[in-house]
Homo-oligomer: A and B are copies of this chain.
Amino acid sequence: MFPLLLLFLATLVATSQAQGDHIAHQIHLLRPQSGARKDDVPGLSCVSWRLAVETNNMVGWKTVPKECENYVGHYMLGDQYRKDSAVVTNEAYLYAKSLKLGGKGKDVWVFDIDETSLSNLPYYAKHGFGVEQFNHTSSNEWVNTVKAPALPESLKLYKKLLSLGIKVVFLTGRTNDQRTVTTTNLKNAGYHSWEKLILKGSSYSGKTAVVYKSTERRKLERNGYRVVGNIGDQWSDLLGGNSGNRMFKLPDPLYYIS
């Protein structure tokens, strides 16, 4: 039944494309904006919005546009999020495999935690997939349950990196008072060992994630570590200097951290 439906849809799409229309692209628009093509300010395309977010063209946004709640929800719960993540972690592994390691046990890979190592999707699924304003209280309650599952593709990458002899450093925006729950949750999710788990200290209070994370990466390098790779879901995990020999951006259309 399902393959037939897919074939049928594909045929319709192919037909419309042959006519010069591109339904395949428009299907993602849950609320197509008529006349958007010729507007200077385009009608909101959730597909374009997400691409702009992933490429850091859209910065400093506070919430997902209301019109995109369903789109983001379907994306996060569906296959595409997993597939998009898998392509990234697969590239990361191919890169890691190609490395000539220093051999002194000082080669590290920096992993962000939320939406990189652990997934808060169960929480966000109950809170509008980023449409609701971020709520510290309910978010902390969720963190304290220590039930966040691993992002499956990231956990696979983590295991493969360890087997290559690369050590893992977790560098997270979670604060020092969350060390115990974070340790427990990481272990619950399958991350059993790490070189360091760096949480945000009070000295960084009020500083951006870019400043905090690049400073901590610089410290790592000053302490003799070689950051061979760096993976996160936010550009603030990756930019700002001492970014590592190569950086990998996992998808995250749920929130933006500067």
Residues of A with Cβ closer than 8 Å to B? Answer: 2, 5-6, 9-10, 12-13, 16-17, 21-28, 32, 36-37, 40-42, 45, 47-49, 51-52, 54-59, 74-75, 78-80, 82-84, 86-88, 90-92, 156, 246-249, 251
Contact = CB atoms under 8 A, between A and B. Distances in A.
Nearest to A33: B83
A87 B45 contact: yes
A6 B25 contact: no
A38 B92 CA distance: 18
B9 A51 contact: no
Contact of A58 (B12, B26, B56, B91): B91
Copies, count? 2
Given A10-B27, A25-B75, A83 B249 contact: no
Contact of A9 (B9, B55, B156): B9
Contact of A27 (B9, B248, B249): B9
Nearest to A27: B24
Contact of A37 (B55, B59, B82): B82
Contacts of A16: 2, 5
8 contacts: A9-B23, A22-B80, A42-B90, A49-B87, A51-B87, A52-B91, A56-B249, A57-B88
Contacts of A27: 9-10, 13, 24, 27
